[in-house]
Amino acid sequence: MGAAPRAGDESAGPPAGVTYNTAGGSAGPAPGRAVAAAGIFGMSGVAAGAFGAHALKARLDPEALAIFDTAARYQLLHALALLGSAWVAQQWPGRAARASGILFSAGILLFSGSLYALSLTGIRGLGAITPIGGLLLILGWLALILSGLRARGS
């Protein structure tokens, strides 16, 4: 029997049954960060939705409450999109895959963040930020499409 591999000995390779997707080079920023961000956005989106449905229901007018609800829905939806983009970045590393995660994160912050602020403060000027966030979300989807089209074996 051979000697057991020592810590740091890369010649041993991965454990039995484990494969690593190394096609396309580095995945850039760790997909784990995107997964963590998706979890944070998802968790806080659920909390915001519950806060809006319960604590804010008696404090905001129906229009402001609808704006707050839109922010929470888009945050939750795009938290899932961010989770998907992390998976895509792991499977098919590339610039488009990395960009989708960055675009979704920035889009959530600007789109949902500006709607939360608008609904809570009534400052209409904050609504000018919302379309920028929306554009970033759309570009995130476009980057995800490009990642799929450029994926090897498709």
Domain range spanning residue 101? 29-150
Which amino acid makes up residue 6? R
User: What distance in Å separates the CA atoms of residue 70 and residue 72, rounded to the nearest whole number?
Assistant: 5
The pLDDT mean for the chain works out to 86
Question: What is the pLDDT at residue 20?
Answer: 41
Which letter does DSSP use for residue 27 in this model?
Answer: -
Position 139 in a domain:
yes
Position 126 in a domain:
yes
User: What distance in Å separates the CA atoms of residue 9 and residue 1, rounded to the nearest whole number?
Assistant: 18
Position 138 in a domain:
yes
Return the structure tokens found at 139: 């570009």
* pTM beyond cutoff 0.85: no
> pLDDT digits over 115-143, tens only?
999 999 999 999 999 999 999 999 999 99
Position 90 in a domain:
yes
Position 65 in a domain:
yes
Position 19 in a domain:
no
Q: What is the mean pLDDT of residues 20-37?
A: 64
What domain count does the chain have? 1
Residue 147 and residue 100 in contact, taking contact as beta carbons nearer than 8 Å? yes
Position 88 in a domain:
yes
Residue 5 and residue 12 in contact, taking contact as beta carbons nearer than 8 Å? yes
The helix/strand/coil state of 154 is: coil
Position 50 in a domain:
yes
